[in-house]
Structure 1
Amino acid sequence: MAHPSPSRLPVIVGFGGFNAAGRASAHHAYRRMVIESLPANDRQETLAGLAVMMGLIGVAEGQYIRLDNDQPLTLDQIEAEFGPAVLDGTLIRRIEKTFFDVDAVHWQKSSLLNAATQPLVVEMSRRDLPEPIPAQWDIEELEAGRVRVTLADSLAVKLDSYRDMPVKSAGQLPRGFDPGALYNSHFHPRALQLAVIGASDAVRSVGVEWSEIMEAVKPDEVGVYASNVMSQMDENGFGGLLQSRLKGGRVSTKQCPLGLSSMPADFVNAYILGSVGHTGAIAGACASFLYNLRAAVEDISSGKCRVAIVGNAEAPITPEIIDGYATMGALASEDKLKKLDDSDTADPRRTSRPFGENCGFTIAEASQYIVLMDDALALELGADIHGAVSDVFINADGFKKSISAPGPGNYITMAKAVAAARAIVGDEAIRQRSMVQAHGSSTPQNRVTESQIFDQVAKVFDIENWPVSAVKAYVGHSLSPASGEQLITSLGIFKYGIVPGIKTIDKVADDVFAERLQLPVRDMDRRETPFDVIFLNSKGFGGNNATAGVIAPQVVEKMLSRRYGAERISEYVQRREKTRATAAAYDAAALKGHFQTIYHFGEGLIDESQIGMDSTSVTLPGFAQPIDLRFTNRFDDMV
């Protein structure tokens, strides 16, 4: 029997996106989370970049400037004068009026108007009459196209009203930052705006031009794996589509197609990459990022795909979606927070409290994308490797009493992920140099059930003081991109060695299973003992459980050295210098507001008349390599 060929290692060569902490590429969103623990230059650089994003300062001739008088600003000045506003306008905070007024949310109150001693008489335009006219309505024609309506009975009406929203906080993009302003986003739902700018940020962060990547691979060796859970529910997507008849409006030509949950992948293919390769839009509730990541990892490992874009974009901060989750009792409301804190006020910054005394999750918007390559392609192109994804495991819960309740599937995914990573890095690394990025949704049920899983897995694998972090404390729960935020935060931990503490809690709740866990409420310094592997854990409604193992770049480098030898690695390191310089140039430009968002609308269209095809290949205009049609029989032992 032939020995199976070794798997290709899916390595992370780029990452980007936007969330409540800012821009993900070059670790800036991560740096916002641990900003108190950063060296001065890194801290000030991130604050300055956020100040530009938020429109607090300007840029002229490459210099930071004041908006009122165009005077140049130093990093020290920016931190001193604008730092407090930057910190206040990022992370979880009170929902801002650019979304809606949480104290006066518009709704329609159903009322019944009854005739008193006299019939009810109203005048109106004939064009506004209902169709058909109710039988009990008496219509009298007036001048100028108007009519008088006499009703002897009652009239059911909808009256514009406003009411208080019990949930008042969310993880929002930095205050003042408009994602649609970065490209021609006319009529695009907000989630698709986020998909475009997030995926573009990830592609730019690679430091290798996309055209150069495409020259190195066949057109069908590219994959895009992206989706969202709630679709596009604002006015330009399904939200406007479903509300149009009730509001007396008309459906647009864009609302239906742009509302589909596959659009975060389709937009990347059609307007950023121009890809004709594989596409997938997998939804697994709050574990959707890991579901898409697993598909990409499997395709790269097997050789079906050589480069993949993986991500999700979600924009769920709408009254309807918040109403839905709040009615389930899943969100942290002001009243519940006040009761929890025995206070007359609720702190909008501390609504998400993973593993502490909590009362529900905090909804958020985000866009998170990564770029994966197989190890051979990364070496060939000199791509910078930030880590690798060895395995992603997905298991369901079996029979369920409640679709939202946790179940046994997450025990399986966590145990398998740790066991698979142990086979790569060894027992000692798992015990001493691994950590967990928890789902950490901030619900009372999650803090108990998830910590119990971690504690039991730690016991089985002889782990003591297993560090556990929860990024939702900072950015909230963005639903489908949530594990993308865990992954990109993990890349920051690999680089800087600082684990973001769960700073929204004063202490770990008494019912948390923490005997073998380390749940820091302040940033944890692990620079002396860096992690070899970080586990990403995700749980979703319906029994969607997923856990991934992410291998640190220093471990990946050793693995590649064993596979390819010192000479080839030395050549790769030389090529990587150019890549790092290009990525750094993009970061420097983005810090000053020049995001160079990729958006090709109506450009580079393929002339189908120029497609060449024979029995062995398909050639497409604009692509360097042909698509191979020389297949072998995978089932030759059955023929």
Structure 2
Amino acid sequence: SSRQHPKALQMTVFGMSDTLGQFGIDWSEILKKVSPDQIAVFSGAAIGNMDHFGFGGMMQSRMKGSRSSSKNLPFGLVEMSADFINAYILGNVGRTGHVVGACATFLFNLQLGKESIENGSARVVIVGGAEAPITPEIIDGFFAISALSDDKSMLELQSQLNEPSNKPNQRKACRPFGDNIGMVMGESAQFVILMDEDLALELGAKIYASVQAVASHADGFKSSISGPGVGNYITLAKCVAEASQQLGSKSLKNETYVHAHGTGTPANRTSESHILDEIAKVFGIKSWPVTAIKSYLGHSMAVAAGDQLTCVLGTWNKGIIPRIHSITETAEDVFDDNLNFLTKDKVEDPNFYKGAFLNAKGFGGNNASALILGPDFTFSQIKKRYTKKALKDYERKLENTRKSVLEYNENASKGAYNTIYKFNHEVLEGMHDLEITKEKIKLKGYKKSINLKS
């Protein structure tokens, strides 16, 4: 049946299943310790599910002389990724939703997840996104606003740079912060699991990093709705100020780096580099490492910052910040007095960098930045808040988690993925499957009740 679903929803099912495999703890263990209403899911797309199984099929039906499917409209909705996770993977009855903000969408959802845990409305949050925008109509739309790297322009650029120009070099189609001509569309699904400290330790969850700050701001008055503005200066400055307070000025200057939005367009290379350079100057950073993962993956729209976050976690695992592989130097109009745009992989001890910044600049003034703190620094702070016995118990449980993750990865590397898709599984009905009193709601199949007392 998944063949009748939009591609992004197929990616959601696979991506979320993979996330749970990487989690290494059976989801039922969470349900034993957390009330059903304290689990939240925030995920979706920015443009929508536009292939022929979603909105695309609905829009095309009259022109083709056919009828729209009953699934086209609902399957096209931007929040359907969260809906599928709730309905077919987790059986979640907790909070759900999706905050759309163009290319900053993933960070908007990350901010919502962080705030939900901090205000106590959730203890576990799935944050993610899935977008598959490579369709003829969407390509036409981006081509119309001169945003894409096309073959003709690529050949002209390759000739100007004295590169072989007998055919387009698709591996260098996206050139963030170099001499460039446009972006490349990408497709992606990324998911992370957030939870409060107490629960993470109680479960023995592997802690990959912590979300210290997420800021999102608009641009104010604009001329062109797609043009850059002041909002991204505000978001990044707030996150860097937070890093200065948490890590200290010395660590900020020497042990942090940036995953730039880095779309590969001429407008982005000047506007974003100026933002990064100005913020670096204000905080006394002299040679801030900057990379841009879109040189490898293209622009996955809503999920773009999720691609960045996953790459950040990889750096804390392998000790490598991947270079901007498609350039050998920056363009002349790039601001880089205080920046080090990486044209070579930067290799350090995996725990060398204490923090990483994610940056997103979206159409319409949707700007967001995030400060992610590494596992080493994160756990050093956790140790200050828990007893030796609690930490020893955590390490014992963590060992079992590591074994489960290792086993899953070994199987996955052989193509044996444990894809979860629970269609028509333990469906709850209001007439028979819940008990409501003034104090609580008890759901069939859930150990914990939903508390109605304030």
Secondary structure of 1:549's counterpart equals: strand
Q: Tell me how far 1:506 sits from its aligned partner.
A: 1.8
2:376 pairs, out of 544, 554, 578, with: 554
Aligned runs of 1:333-344 on 2, under 5 Å? 333-342=150-159, 343-344=165-166
Do the aligned partners of 1:606 and 1:622 also contact (CA within 8 Å) in 2? no
**Structure (1 or 2) with the larger CA radius of gyration:** 1
2:273 pairs, out of 435, 445, 451, with: 451
Aligned runs of 1:288-307 on 2, under 5 Å? 288-307=105-124
Q: Does 1:195 align with 2:12?
A: yes
Q: Tell me how far 1:570 sits from its aligned partner.
A: 1.8
- Using the alignment, how far apart are the partners of 1:448 and 1:540 within structure 2? 15
Do the aligned partners of 2:293 and 2:308 also contact (CA within 8 Å) in 1? yes
Match of 2:447 in 1: 624
Match of 1:441 in 2: 263
- Using the alignment, how far apart are the partners of 1:547 and 1:512 within structure 2? 20
- Using the alignment, how far apart are the partners of 1:509 and 1:584 within structure 2? 43
- Using the alignment, how far apart are the partners of 1:428 and 1:625 within structure 2? 46
1:482 pairs, out of 264, 284, 304, with: 304
Match of 1:471 in 2: 293
Match of 2:197 in 1: 375
- Using the alignment, how far apart are the partners of 1:565 and 1:340 within structure 2? 60
State the AA in 2 paired with 1:587. N
1:249 pairs, out of 66, 78, 83, with: 66
Residues 518-556 of structure 1: per-residue CA shift (max 9 Å, x gap)? 111111112287110000000100000000010000011
Unaligned runs of 5+ in 1: 1-183, 632-639
Match of 1:541 in 2: 363
Match of 2:423 in 1: 601
- Using the alignment, how far apart are the partners of 1:328 and 1:238 within structure 2? 22
Do the aligned partners of 1:531 and 1:552 also contact (CA within 8 Å) in 2? yes
Do the aligned partners of 2:317 and 2:350 also contact (CA within 8 Å) in 1? no
- Using the alignment, how far apart are the partners of 1:456 and 1:288 within structure 2? 25
State the AA in 1 paired with 2:12. A
2:22 pairs, out of 197, 200, 205, with: 205
- Using the alignment, how far apart are the partners of 1:365 and 1:464 within structure 2? 35
- Using the alignment, how far apart are the partners of 1:389 and 1:528 within structure 2? 18
State the AA in 2 paired with 1:301. E
- Using the alignment, how far apart are the partners of 2:280 and 2:344 within structure 1? 22
Q: Tell me how far 1:391 sits from its aligned partner.
A: 1.3
- Using the alignment, how far apart are the partners of 1:329 and 1:610 within structure 2? 54
Do the aligned partners of 2:110 and 2:214 also contact (CA within 8 Å) in 1? yes
Residues 340-375 of structure 1: per-residue CA shift (max 9 Å, x gap)? 111342101110101111011100111111111111
Aligned runs of 1:270-419 on 2, under 5 Å? 270-342=87-159, 343-419=165-241
Match of 2:389 in 1: 567
State the AA in 2 paired with 1:363. M
Do the aligned partners of 2:232 and 2:275 also contact (CA within 8 Å) in 1? yes
- Using the alignment, how far apart are the partners of 2:124 and 2:248 within structure 1? 28
State the AA in 1 paired with 2:365. G
Residues 305-329 of structure 1: per-residue CA shift (max 9 Å, x gap)? 1011111101111111101001100
Match of 2:36 in 1: 219
Do the aligned partners of 1:433 and 1:529 also contact (CA within 8 Å) in 2? no
After superposition, the Cα gap between the structure-2 partners of 1:577 and 1:427, relative to the gap in structure 1 and judged at 3 Å, is same
Q: Tell me how far 1:445 sits from its aligned partner.
A: 1.0
Do the aligned partners of 2:315 and 2:350 also contact (CA within 8 Å) in 1? no
Secondary structure of 1:291's counterpart equals: helix
- Using the alignment, how far apart are the partners of 1:607 and 1:337 within structure 2? 57
Residues 212-256 of structure 1: per-residue CA shift (max 9 Å, x gap)? 111110000000001101211111111010000111011111111
1:532 pairs, out of 321, 337, 354, with: 354
Indicate the RMSD between aligned Cα atoms, in angstroms: 1.0
- Using the alignment, how far apart are the partners of 1:526 and 1:483 within structure 2? 23
- Using the alignment, how far apart are the partners of 2:388 and 2:339 within structure 1? 39
- Using the alignment, how far apart are the partners of 1:356 and 1:425 within structure 2? 31
Residues 103-142 of structure 1: per-residue CA shift (max 9 Å, x gap)? xxxxxxxxxxxxxxxxxxxxxxxxxxxxxxxxxxxxxxxx
State the AA in 2 paired with 1:223. A
Q: Tell me how far 1:337 sits from its aligned partner.
A: 1.1
- Using the alignment, how far apart are the partners of 2:149 and 2:326 within structure 1? 14
State the AA in 2 paired with 1:544. N
Q: Tell me how far 1:303 sits from its aligned partner.
A: 1.3
Unaligned runs of 5+ in 2: 160-164
Q: Tell me how far 1:440 sits from its aligned partner.
A: 0.4
After TM superposition, the runs of 4+ consecutive aligned structure 1 residues lying more than 6 A away are none
Secondary structure of 1:292's counterpart equals: helix
State the AA in 1 paired with 2:382. L
Do the aligned partners of 2:316 and 2:351 also contact (CA within 8 Å) in 1? no
Do the aligned partners of 1:607 and 1:621 also contact (CA within 8 Å) in 2? no
Match of 1:614 in 2: 437
Q: Tell me how far 1:186 sits from its aligned partner.
A: 3.5
- Using the alignment, how far apart are the partners of 2:266 and 2:439 within structure 1? 59
- Using the alignment, how far apart are the partners of 2:119 and 2:70 within structure 1? 40
State the AA in 1 paired with 2:330. V
After superposition, the Cα gap between the structure-2 partners of 1:529 and 1:315, relative to the gap in structure 1 and judged at 3 Å, is closer
Q: Tell me how far 1:567 sits from its aligned partner.
A: 2.5
Secondary structure of 2:107's counterpart equals: helix
Q: Tell me how far 1:185 sits from its aligned partner.
A: 0.4
State the AA in 2 paired with 1:380. E
Do the aligned partners of 2:215 and 2:235 also contact (CA within 8 Å) in 1? yes
Moved more, 316-325 or 340-349: 340-349
Q: Tell me how far 1:494 sits from its aligned partner.
A: 1.1
Match of 2:162 in 1: none
**TM-score, normalized by length of structure 2?**
0.97
- Using the alignment, how far apart are the partners of 1:275 and 1:487 within structure 2? 25
Q: Does 1:579 align with 2:401?
A: yes
- Using the alignment, how far apart are the partners of 2:13 and 2:315 within structure 1? 26
Q: Does 1:523 align with 2:340?
A: no
After superposition, the Cα gap between the structure-2 partners of 1:607 and 1:319, relative to the gap in structure 1 and judged at 3 Å, is closer
State the AA in 1 paired with 2:449. P
**TM-score, normalized by length of structure 1?**
0.69
Do the aligned partners of 1:206 and 1:383 also contact (CA within 8 Å) in 2? yes
Aligned residues: 448
Q: Tell me how far 1:607 sits from its aligned partner.
A: 4.0
Residues 495-514 of structure 1: per-residue CA shift (max 9 Å, x gap)? 11111001111211111111
Match of 1:177 in 2: none
- Using the alignment, how far apart are the partners of 1:528 and 1:578 within structure 2? 23
Residues 371-424 of structure 1: per-residue CA shift (max 9 Å, x gap)? 111111000000000001011100000011011111000000000001112222
State the AA in 1 paired with 2:134. I
Residues 595-617 of structure 1: per-residue CA shift (max 9 Å, x gap)? 11111000111243131111111
Secondary structure of 1:393's counterpart equals: strand
- Using the alignment, how far apart are the partners of 2:24 and 2:38 within structure 1? 20
After superposition, the Cα gap between the structure-2 partners of 1:550 and 1:529, relative to the gap in structure 1 and judged at 3 Å, is closer
State the AA in 1 paired with 2:384. R
- Using the alignment, how far apart are the partners of 2:257 and 2:392 within structure 1? 31
Secondary structure of 2:447's counterpart equals: coil
State the AA in 1 paired with 2:269. R
Q: Tell me how far 1:565 sits from its aligned partner.
A: 2.9
Q: Does 1:502 align with 2:319?
A: no
- Using the alignment, how far apart are the partners of 1:423 and 1:611 within structure 2? 48
